[in-house]
Chains A and B, each alone.
Chain A
Amino acid sequence: MPLSANPALPQNMLSRTLRKVAGQSEIALFVSLVLIVIVFSSLSEYFLTTRNLTNVLGQASIILLIATGVAVALIGGEVDISVGSLVAAVALPLVEIMNATGSLSLGILGALVLGLMIGAINGYLSAYLRINSLIVTLGMLFLIRGGVYLWTNKRAQADTAYLDSFFAIGNGKAFGIMPIPAIIAGVIVLMVMFIMHKTRFGRRIYAAGGSAEVARMVGYDVRRIKFICFLISSTLATIAGILLASRLGAAVHTSGQGYEFQAIAAVVLGGVSLAGGRGNILGAALGVLILAYLSNGLGMINAPTEWQLVITGIVIVAAVSLDSYKKSKE
């Protein structure tokens, strides 16, 4: 029987290095992103400006953070759609604590505590009590939104502390061009990418989502892994909620509505499987950027909002269909 100890041939080296950074589908996503930029640049003179391109990054950073968390949960074989409401909920302790104490750190701490509590409840019910996570987080989505309405009496809670630091995290720009939220989101996404690919724990998340049964046989604590996925998801959504509150200058009771599905759409577009265990954070991030620039570009050419929705829908379904068609051909 022949041995397959083929030493890396020189011509393989380049493609292998490329493959290490990104798989085939990530390259395809990147090319699509570039195409979108080229097309809209030719359609609108305002599209291809540093100001516009970086602004979109700033706007997209909130969905990017949420989508990254949702991607981690999906890779771990679970769904978290409570994040849209969570974004609104965590802004309440943030703003109220800041207003009362004048401390941004304490406000952020308060937001994180609430976010982690919600994540822990999602995780406990889904991972330990084995209730379907779609149902658990769907329930949580309604429950939190209702709670926010009750707490605020359906009125936005304005930030009255007027801290410069709080204003800066959502609205500031580094070197006068790059929005701070984009930098925060970028750094966090890179960290999650590193964790998912380079650390043992990240690989265990993939294993738990790819085959929970096998993972258990190998001796992983699958329940704990999944539980932590929910904590990651809710933590990232909490950070998104803090950035959003800063942009809005208030805890707005209706904020974040529909973000959970925008995030799932982007993540799926980026090649993350709803069945778990497949996809990666780079792809998910590219999915977010594609949808963000698409919607921005359509806005630039004055396409009505209705049509933006229709086109976004077509893009998502077409991209995923193409992908599964390609897979079936393999």
Chain B
Amino acid sequence: MGKSDVATAGAADFHDLAPALAVTGLSKSFPGVKALDDVSLSVRPGEVLALLGENGAGKSTLIKVLAGIHKADSGQIEIDGVPQDFTNPADALDAGIKVVFQEIALIPEFSVAENMFLEDHLAGKANLVNWREIHRRAQEIFDRAGFALNTRAKVKDLSVSEQQLVEISRAMARDARIVIMDEPTSSLTPAEVTHLFGVINRLRKLGIAIVYVSHKLEEIFEIADTCVVLRDGRWVSTKPTSEHTPASLVKDMVGREITSLFPHSDRTVGREIVQVEDLSSKRLDDISFHVRAGEVVGFFGLMGAGRTEVAKAIVGFDPITKGRIRIDGEDLKPHSTVRSKALGIGLLSEDRKTEGLMLDGSVTRNMTLAALDQFTRNGLMDHRAETKQAEGFVDRFAIKLARLGQPIRNLSGGNQQKVLLSRWLMFGLKAVVLDEPTRGIDVGAKAEIFALIDELAAQGLAVILMTSEMPELLGLSDRIYVLSEGRMTGEFTRENATQEEILDAAIR
């Protein structure tokens, strides 16, 4: 695959090549917001360009314009010097732009291989699907990329990280000229990230231009040749990565220096709020732990270690086979979310979109969902009190929105997460489980979420933090539990926790 004229271009000499993709003066407005304002950038064959920026910086809009989902108000997109006019996603694909979105865009009921060849099903004469060839080509791509995927597995049975590999394979199957990756590593294990970088390096050797969107600075420094930073819809800087330091990048992104990413206030640790003994379920084996009021307890584990399973079990969402869960001394029986909510423990799901938010509901409705009783007088809703309370939280957490009545769908990930946190604070929980609270959220907003988590603990909540991000784990947790294959393999205090020992426990 790859186009022959650029196939020989190595990673080093792309500087001499003409841009594969050039964007000039792109602007795009939505009602009330100028999402993109005169943005220009170009990426050459074999170059990895990192696109950086905070919430609402315009990255998503830019990607959607390049994917043919949105139409720009003004400006030009050129591929290999030819001006493009995308009216729909198919046009962008045909022109050679493949976007690997963060929200997995695969058909769950289809096999891995079929998903990779969705565009044409390799159909030949009479539009017949060539199943044999689909599986053969898919396997060929996996062999080349080193992916351990079964072409016949149904996508719905795969983990998020495996699904992401399928998405990337799909770009390879399309012979894409320009691959745009939107936070591709947000749910990959360290080993899978290394793999992905291997794949990216292979793609760049084939002369493919890569636009890489990520909030993990260490990744940027490892993989990107060039950094383009956007802020508030405007272009801020374009520099070779070698001229950047983490601090300079963050400064460009937020327009100020972030002093402490992980605030850790002095907190009084109180009684044990969450007590779990010998918890077992389909994928968990004899897990015991406790969390005190005012404590942030981190759970670490690689993909499939059982973090999400623990989270869902202790809030009564998933069934358990054995064990005892007590919230503030009361047994979680019957094992249901109704009971767990009554006892005062809530979960912020890793999957905000499907398990947390009512996407078409207003910000207010989403925020007050758990606390409706507080706004009910004689069985009737007191909308004024509801709005007032919601406004209070919007101010307190600096949630960026146009109006309270707007659908939450239109808020950025960080702001959506703040609304969800507000929901549980408003309800008055004793314990909260946060499953990957910063997944898909960028640096500036992350710092705010971290501050929020610290505040939750300072207010006396027991906070359980499930995370696969080591800095987050070490920076926020008072104590750390490590899971591996559904078992508990380590416990550390904030003082004696080291990255090496935690990783060691995670692979035990």
Q: Find out whether the CB atom of B114 lies under 8 angstroms from the CB atom of A203.
A: yes
Digitize B88-117: 1 where CB-to-A-CB distance is under 8 Å, 0 elsewhere. Answer: 111001100000010001111110001000
The residue from A198, A199, A202, A214 contacting B106, defined by CB atoms under 8 A apart: A214
CB distance from A316 to the nearest CB of B (A): 22
Q: Find out whether the CB atom of A217 lies under 8 angstroms from the CB atom of B107.
A: no
**Inter-chain contacts of A218 with B (CB < 8 A):** 89-90, 93, 105, 118-119
**Inter-chain contacts of A211 with B (CB < 8 A):** 106-108
A10 at interface by CB-CB < 8 Å: no
The residue from B67, B114, B127, B147 contacting A199, defined by CB atoms under 8 A apart: B127
B148 at interface by CB-CB < 8 Å: yes
- B146: nearest chain-A partner, CB-CB: A1
Q: Find out whether the CB atom of B129 lies under 8 angstroms from the CB atom of A200.
A: yes
CB distance from A203 to the nearest CB of B (A): 6
Distance of A211 Cα from B118 Cα, bound (Å): 12
The residue from A4, A5, A203, A213 contacting B121, defined by CB atoms under 8 A apart: A203
**Inter-chain contacts of B129 with A (CB < 8 A):** 197-200, 202-203
Q: Find out whether the CB atom of B107 lies under 8 angstroms from the CB atom of A207.
A: yes
**Inter-chain contacts of A206 with B (CB < 8 A):** 107, 109-110
Query: Looking at chain B's contact residues, is the secondary structure mostly helix, strand, loop, or mixed?
Result: loop
- B194: nearest chain-A partner, CB-CB: A1
Near B by CB (< 8 A), chain A positions 167-202 give: 197-202
The residue from B89, B121, B123 contacting A219, defined by CB atoms under 8 A apart: B89
| A3, A198, A210, A217: most-surrounded residue (chain B CB, <10 A) | A217
Distance of A214 Cα from B110 Cα, bound (Å): 12
B41 at interface by CB-CB < 8 Å: no
**Contacts A3-B146, A206-B107 hold; do A201 and B89 have CB atoms under 8 A apart?**
no
Distance of A125 Cα from B148 Cα, bound (Å): 45
- A275: nearest chain-B partner, CB-CB: B109
- A209: nearest chain-B partner, CB-CB: B109
Q: Find out whether the CB atom of A210 lies under 8 angstroms from the CB atom of B108.
A: yes
- B94: nearest chain-A partner, CB-CB: A219
CB distance from B463 to the nearest CB of A (A): 32
B120 at interface by CB-CB < 8 Å: yes
**Inter-chain contacts of A197 with B (CB < 8 A):** 129
Q: Find out whether the CB atom of B118 lies under 8 angstroms from the CB atom of A5.
A: no
Beyond A199-B123, A200-B129, A219-B94, 18 additional contacts (C-beta under 8 Å) are: A1-B147, A1-B148, A4-B149, A5-B142, A199-B129, A203-B110, A206-B110, A207-B110, A210-B108, A211-B107, A213-B105, A214-B118, A217-B89, A217-B101, A218-B90, A218-B118, A219-B88, A277-B108
List B residues at the A interface (Cβ < 8 Å): 67, 69, 88-90, 93-94, 101, 105-110, 114, 118-121, 123, 126-129, 139, 142-143, 146-150, 191, 195
